[in-house]
Structure 1
């Protein structure tokens, strides 16, 4: 298992650096000093390898988000803490890997993004339930819908037809997005916490 983790970690990096279309199975085989035939014994085609890479990267991100959600007790503080995974998520839509997936492997990309959205929303729903139990979040909204909306907005800056990323500062966009989301879901008790931490 450890050997496979090392393998898929390195392959993931190769895809991130070179793109889904550019990186060939020959390139992967050469990177590991194995024959292409050996690689094809494990993966019937490049698409199958791409899907495993995406699943691996998704599981890494979701594990990190779940860990933070479990270790930071206050639901509002959890949402506002600096999170490199959410930062990476908001910028990943413009990476070479993602651009090539969208262009050359749209079915794989769509399947991956639906799964990503579902798992990301699950983490946010857990945060909402925790915040409601703490009295910080309102009861009268659909937690799953709001979570999916937040994911959509996080992913919308890069590649949007309606947002000019050359004129809108990315950090400012993220801050305004978080402020809008948090103000939409918090109770008066929750808003006091937001105010106390100057958000």
Structure 2
């Protein structure tokens, strides 16, 4: 096999490994999935797997980076359409999050904190997202979608703390992640929406289609 074909093969294999690994991590939690399990599912040797990904954390980090990049690209594509106002983008974001939560075992989130490099990466993208969200809220105020004179940085932090608290108290075992997330964002979003913004929120909530296409 020539060098170019070998490189292409390795890249394709790396992508396939990420596909299988993330599916396993999301379904079963991270701790419950061994590198051996992934190798067996792919019918490749452990040596081949470890040549491409030195350990589970490296593989997990690669998978999260890929999935977060795809998530952001999809949201940006929606936001770039001029027909969509700021509230529609907010609701699209929450809808995408709930669709994602429907496929993830809560154990996945509980296991994440055990991987330092992963935690550092998630903290970085979370901080970057918060910076973008403040600018976004400012744009929404100009559109008369969001209320003026509110501290949106504080609101974002409070929402984060409520979600974090729900995870730490493990109340998702009773209510489910989607149900918790829906109730939290409904209260928060309606709280900072203008009359114009509420029309968008109500349209979304009345549709009752959390996993479907919005707008």
Same fold (TM over 0.5): yes
Q: Quick check: 1:185 aligned with 2:195? A: no
Greater shift, 39-48 or 63-72, is seen at 63-72
Q: Quick check: 1:46 aligned with 2:46? A: no
Per the alignment, residue 194 of structure 1 pairs with: 198
After TM superposition, the runs of 4+ consecutive aligned structure 1 residues lying more than 4 A away are: 88-94, 168-176, 195-199
Per the alignment, residue 140 of structure 1 pairs with: 149
Greater shift, 87-96 or 22-31, is seen at 87-96
Per the alignment, residue 100 of structure 1 pairs with: 111
Q: Quick check: 1:7 aligned with 2:7? A: no
Greater shift, 88-97 or 43-52, is seen at 88-97
The TM-score normalised by the length of structure 2 is 0.66
Report the secondary structure of 1:23's partner residue: coil
Equivalent of 2:139 in 130, 143, 166: 130
Post-superposition CA distance 1:83-123 (Å, at most 9, x none): 54221466688623223334xx2535533542353354355
Paired with 2:27 and 2:176, the residues of 1 have a C-alpha distance of 25
The TM-score normalised by the length of structure 1 is 0.70
Deviation at 1:131, TM superposition (A): 0.8
Change (3 A) 1:10 1:93: closer
Per the alignment, residue 77 of structure 1 pairs with: 88
Paired with 2:147 and 2:167, the residues of 1 have a C-alpha distance of 30
Deviation at 1:191, TM superposition (A): 2.2
CA RMSD of aligned residues (A): 3.6
Query: What is the number of equivalent residue pairs in this alignment?
Result: 192
